[in-house]
Structure 1
Amino acid sequence: MLQILSFVGFTALVAIVSYFATRKTDESSSEGYFLGGRSLTGVVIAGSLLLTNLSTEQIVGLNGSAYREGILVMAWETLAAIAIVVTALFLLPRYLKGGITTIPTFLETRFNKSTKAITSALFLSGYVVVLLPIVLYSGALAINTMFDVPALLGVTKSSALWITVFAIGIIGSIYAIFGGLKAVAVSDTINAVGLLIGGLMIPVFGLLEIGNNSISAGIDRLLSEHPEKFDAIGSADSSIPFATIFTGMMLVQLFYWGTNQAIIQRALGAKNLKEGQKGMLYAAMIKILGPLIVVLPGIIAYHLFSGDLAVPDEAYPKLVTRVLPASLVGFFAAVLFGAILSSFNSALNSSVTLFGIDIYKQYIKKDAPEKQVVKAGKTFGIFLAFLSMFVAPFIANAPDGLFGYLQEINGCYSIPILTIIVVGYLTKYVPAKAANIALIAGVVLYSISQFALKPYMISKEFENNKTELLALSNNISTEINQFNSPTDSLYTTTLINLNRLRTDENLETNTATIIGSINKIQMNASEQLVDLPESYLESSSLFSQRVNEIKVSAYPHFLHVMAILFVLNVLIMLLIGKMNPRSVAFELQFTKQVDITPWRHARWVSVIIIVVVCASYVIFS
């Protein structure tokens, strides 16, 4: 009961403060509703940026990756700080100078209406197909697990999932649709404080347990017993090979922090450039500390659970259950709930903004007054929210690995959009035709690369290594036959899948199924406190490792592919610009919507941030 009361109490506090902080904002105008009346301060912007970025999927997912691979996954956090610095110093001054409300608005000014329409459609499709349902689904799973909602309500897991999805969706929609950007930003700021406190509690309690009530002793023990987990340089077969840091990783970060509407909209609502830069650089400084929340707990879990978890994504929730005092579980659940809401309502608010300004006002009713544009945006938001709520529960029926697959899909629109924005600001004569061609070419080429050419190349590589895979699978079969119970369906199914390798042509699919069965065997053994034979564990590990090596060697990492296509798209645009330039050079007009005097400390703060990020790689290498 105490857990539920603390959960409801903190959630209600956020709602009450957000209401009183936004009740005087004029939300009948586009600027008041979509940009919070351009009144956001640095602290509010920083808090909203961090909460929009940090969600349950990231907290659980990155800690799971850290459990498996160690500190090298910190690249997703630390390199974000450099991307934020570039955005604050280069992109934000230009955005605020042009007085834009959405990124596509700038693209219309720089290129033409077609560019704006294509970009808006790409953004909306990404939010609708990928972001909103995934946030709802992953958030519902977290809440259901923490409070055991099925048992609490006396319903099945499936019913509990539907109930929680709709609860999160409706509450998030109230913030995003009826409160506007300022309500979203204020609630994010309060939740950001809670997330920082709650998120830091987990590694603190974890280190105290490892070090027998001494944090320093806990750190020393981790460093001495697991030095391999503190190497930031990723190998070629890791999820983040070191070389990708200098190619696609930085491009993905620049797109996310500099051009993604759901993120940059917070900075666009700044009362002036000074506050906007403050907010972004504050966020960058805190992002450097991000690994303490989304990486270190995974390594702590690896030590506490002796690396025996079959499913790495279980590392964080199991660690929370083990080290957090019961009296704090409700507060921490409320903090996670805030992170879930933030990701959902931020994406929804941005979708409403894109539809109202870039589609409704532009193509449906050009002479619509401000109040009607806002109303149309809200109506679209309600429809979008319920659509995502109905879609989210069905993700439970999707095959394993869906989240990673969907992350890869984002490359379809991220790199083309980043390309035309960078070229748009850095050149004056590249025409709209170049931007439109680059957008379409970028989507088509990336889709062909990742969803046609890559599967073909991997399939060929598996075929070339079939003999070796069969030998490794025979070793696993031999081991299973020596220790399993003939009546155990899990072992029987695994043997059937292993045997299928000999006859089935789809080697990649079969190996994925086998690895899934191996993981389930280890998970069941761990839950039942059964020790599997060392020889079996070695055989299954060798098989999984070899499968991963084959995939890595068959085709370039998707981050490298993004970098290659970025360069290709830039060259296409510059070539078209050379052959068919604009007749009049583009000049960015100062709309005087806000003061664009930069923050006088912005440059030296940026230098410090970059030095600290580089130093972190020197220390952990």
Structure 2
Amino acid sequence: MGILSFVGFTLLVAIISYLATRKTDESSSDGYFLGGRSLGAVVIAGSLLLTNLSTEQIVGLNGASYKEGVLVMAWETLAAIAMVVTAIFLLPRYLKGGISTVPQFLENRYDTTTKAITSGLFLTGYVVVFLPVVLYSGSLAITTMFDVPEILDISKDTSIWICVWGIGIIGSIYAVFGGLKAVAVSDTINAVGLLIGGIMIPVFGLIEIGDGSISEGISTIMNTNPDKFKVIGGPESSIPVATIFTGMMLVQLFYWGTNQAIIQRALGAKNLKEGQKGLLLGSFLKILGPIIVVLPGIIAFHIFNGELGDADEAYPELVRKVLPVSLVGFFAAVLFGAILSSFNSALNSSVTLFGLDIYKEYINKEATEKQVVKAGKTFGVVLALLAMLVAPFIANAGSIFEYLQEVNGIYSIPILTIIVVGYLTKKVPAIAGKIGILSGSILYIISQFVLQPYFISNDLKAESPSILQELAFVEQNLSSEKAVTVDYEKAIEAINKKENNTKDDIESIKKLKESIDYKNVLKAINEYKNNSDQGLGSIKLLTKSMNELTTSFNYVKDEYKEKGIILNPDIKTSIKEVKASIDKVNVVIDRTKKLAYPHFLHIMAILFVVNILIMLIIGKLYPRETAYEQLYTQEVDITPWKYTKIVGVIVCLIVISTYIYFR
């Protein structure tokens, strides 16, 4: 039944997308890249929601809320304000210029070289960061939720590779061969499914906590975990409160106002009114986003007592725990659609950037529109293959969501800087744009990938004595194998006394012997002790192996409970003590990383101001000979929707009220 509902919903999306797009002329640039500039408000809002809301968001943010609580909702709620700003200030200018890509505006404002550099940065970010993260997080979710390794009798790593290539190939077919309209229509259908499926998980989770009552579940979780419902983050949190007024809003403005994968939906609007209504409808949906991408993480923390080894597994594990078997197929299809949406949306944007901004400009200036579309499709296939090769290695990057946001800073703030200066000034020259984007990227790379590791390593060295003390306890327990020695004869005897026992029960107990791979932890501890540089580099392997051990401990405990077997008290005590020491080490490491160097959102804000000053100084010293004036190309009607500002103010007030309530 589950497989049938999965296949049925997936085919339904594909058929409707085909029927809705078969009359679109995809041999032309506008037809293929912008859906013939025919998108309405509902389609734009649905596509915006699904492009943004995929597994890197669902899995990553719920993992973050599992650790820190509701304060991470800033990534969702502040997005609503950024969408309002885009609808009122940026979209009218984009549609007035009739552009297909954000870099095309930069060509008009600065020159073709600035456009090429920006397109190159976007494409590099997509292939190295965004597309692989979407593929990996989606594969991790499907592998964990639906127990693919068990079904196919393969390892977890092999399962992730298979899922990465499956998602990548199917997503490529949508994006490369269907064009923007196919992507947007499929997104809209999947958006409905995702809203239904996404809300089901916290509902079932609250019912589980409240013994059948949602209201009791809410009351229990809020009273039991009051710290998880504080929206103000301290200096040790991933979002200190001050960052909301610095880099956080800049990141949101870049993402919703200038990121090609997002803004392309609004650029395909049939007119400004529909584009603005689509963005504002999307902003309302983002306010509701924390129900899907934050609350389940807190529910998982309550249900699993904060004992999961990897926070990014909070959402998949919760789904396995609370979702009725009858709904697994539908939810798998919805999740699959969300993964495809983010992947094929970014891939379609990459195809657009390459075809219009690089191929047409630098490779074949005389290319016909059919040739441009064909070149874009070919590039899309190559890009998808590269992303599929990179994706499985994201496993070593730490927190999915944190990794994505921090690495995005390489190109997000520089691009936002030159767009803001480009719109707000008229005489800043092209050379300022090139210097601004290059200096922004280079300074950010130096800050986050040279200076930050240096300072963190120094601070971690200072914490080395306390870390070594805890590691000695872990090593002592694991070396004696007290934590992993199980009396299998007694375990099997206990199973045989149960009614309705099966051979599978006995086999699963036998497998427990291999379930805890403590040797990797001993090896990592030994390497850390023998490494004279006990800094960031030697910590990474240690943290990864210890988190895996914690997950193994939880598996053993849950497996024994499920089989009705009582663990030997010595083993239970040892597991608990070793896990406590592992947690202490991870807390020290995590705290040191956050306090040793300024938060990356603060760094973004500082570099944003520095880059603007650099560009304004260049503009003062070497101004353009003629002031820039944007021309109206009359591609679409740019009469604004008369309620845009009123609705925008309402959205902003709702966001502010939410913060006041959870202060």
Summarize deviations over 1:294-317 as a string: whole Å, max 9, x none.
Answer: 111111111112222222222111
Aligned residue in 2 for 1:617: 659
Q: Which amino acid aligns with 1:443?
A: S
**What fraction of aligned residue pairs are identical, expressed as a percent?**
64
Summarize deviations over 1:45-99 as a string: whole Å, max 9, x none.
Answer: 0000010001112111111111111111111111111111111111101000111
Note if 1:552 corresponds to 2:594.
Answer: yes
How do residues 190-589 of structure 1 correspond to structure 2 at under 5 angstroms? 190-395=189-394, 398=396, 400=398, 404-474=402-472, 476=474, 484=482, 490-491=517-518, 494-495=521-522, 497-498=524-525, 500-507=527-534, 508-529=536-557, 531-532=572-573, 536-589=578-631
Note if 1:77 corresponds to 2:69.
Answer: no
**2: CA distance, partners of 1:499 / 1:8:** 49
Q: 1:143–1:473: structure 2 CA closer, same or farther, 3 Å change rule?
A: closer
**2: CA distance, partners of 1:112 / 1:293:** 43
RMSD: 2.2
More deviation, 164-173/268-277 = 164-173
In 1, are the aligned partners of 2:56 and 2:401 still within 8 Å (CA)?
no
Note if 1:170 corresponds to 2:160.
Answer: no
Q: 1:608–1:467: structure 2 CA closer, same or farther, 3 Å change rule?
A: same
Q: 1:405–1:102: structure 2 CA closer, same or farther, 3 Å change rule?
A: same
In 2, are the aligned partners of 1:525 and 1:532 still within 8 Å (CA)?
no
Summarize deviations over 1:184-243 as a string: whole Å, max 9, x none.
Answer: 000000000000000001111111121222211111111111111100111111111111
**1: CA distance, partners of 2:86 / 2:40:** 17
Q: Which amino acid aligns with 1:206?
A: G
Q: Which amino acid aligns with 2:331?
A: F
**2: CA distance, partners of 1:520 / 1:117:** 43
Note if 1:27 corresponds to 2:26.
Answer: yes
With normalisation by structure 2, the TM-score equals 0.89
Q: 1:78–1:463: structure 2 CA closer, same or farther, 3 Å change rule?
A: same
Summarize deviations over 1:6-28 as a string: whole Å, max 9, x none.
Answer: 00000011011111111111111
Summarize deviations over 1:505-555 as a string: whole Å, max 9, x none.
Answer: 232333343333443333222222263456555544333222222222221
**2: CA distance, partners of 1:240 / 1:83:** 18
Q: Which amino acid aligns with 1:609?
A: V
**2: CA distance, partners of 1:5 / 1:498:** 48
How do residues 90-169 of structure 1 correspond to structure 2 at under 5 angstroms? 90-153=89-152, 157=156, 159-169=158-168
Q: 1:469–1:144: structure 2 CA closer, same or farther, 3 Å change rule?
A: closer
Deviation at 1:491, TM superposition (A): 4.8
Deviation at 1:353, TM superposition (A): 0.5
**2: CA distance, partners of 1:162 / 1:526:** 25
**2: CA distance, partners of 1:310 / 1:613:** 33
The 3-state SS of whatever aligns with 1:592 is coil
Summarize deviations over 1:133-174 as a string: whole Å, max 9, x none.
Answer: 222232233333344444545655555444433322222122
Q: 1:291–1:143: structure 2 CA closer, same or farther, 3 Å change rule?
A: same
More deviation, 105-114/400-409 = 400-409
Q: Which amino acid aligns with 1:585?
A: A
**2: CA distance, partners of 1:591 / 1:570:** 29
More deviation, 450-459/36-45 = 450-459
More deviation, 233-242/4-13 = 233-242
Aligned residue in 2 for 1:597: 639
**1: CA distance, partners of 2:359 / 2:65:** 44
In 2, are the aligned partners of 1:248 and 1:562 still within 8 Å (CA)?
yes
Q: 1:401–1:193: structure 2 CA closer, same or farther, 3 Å change rule?
A: closer
**1: CA distance, partners of 2:540 / 2:149:** 30
In 2, are the aligned partners of 1:486 and 1:492 still within 8 Å (CA)?
no
More deviation, 499-508/272-281 = 499-508
Aligned residue in 1 for 2:54: 55
Deviation at 1:437, TM superposition (A): 0.4
Aligned residue in 1 for 2:501: none
Q: 1:399–1:341: structure 2 CA closer, same or farther, 3 Å change rule?
A: closer
Q: 1:491–1:381: structure 2 CA closer, same or farther, 3 Å change rule?
A: closer
Gaps of 5+ in 1: none
Gaps of 5+ in 2: 486-512, 558-566
**1: CA distance, partners of 2:590 / 2:133:** 26
How many residue pairs match? The answer is 619
Deviation at 1:394, TM superposition (A): 5.0
**2: CA distance, partners of 1:346 / 1:408:** 21
**1: CA distance, partners of 2:525 / 2:364:** 60
The 3-state SS of whatever aligns with 2:628 is coil
**1: CA distance, partners of 2:459 / 2:57:** 32
Q: 1:270–1:424: structure 2 CA closer, same or farther, 3 Å change rule?
A: same
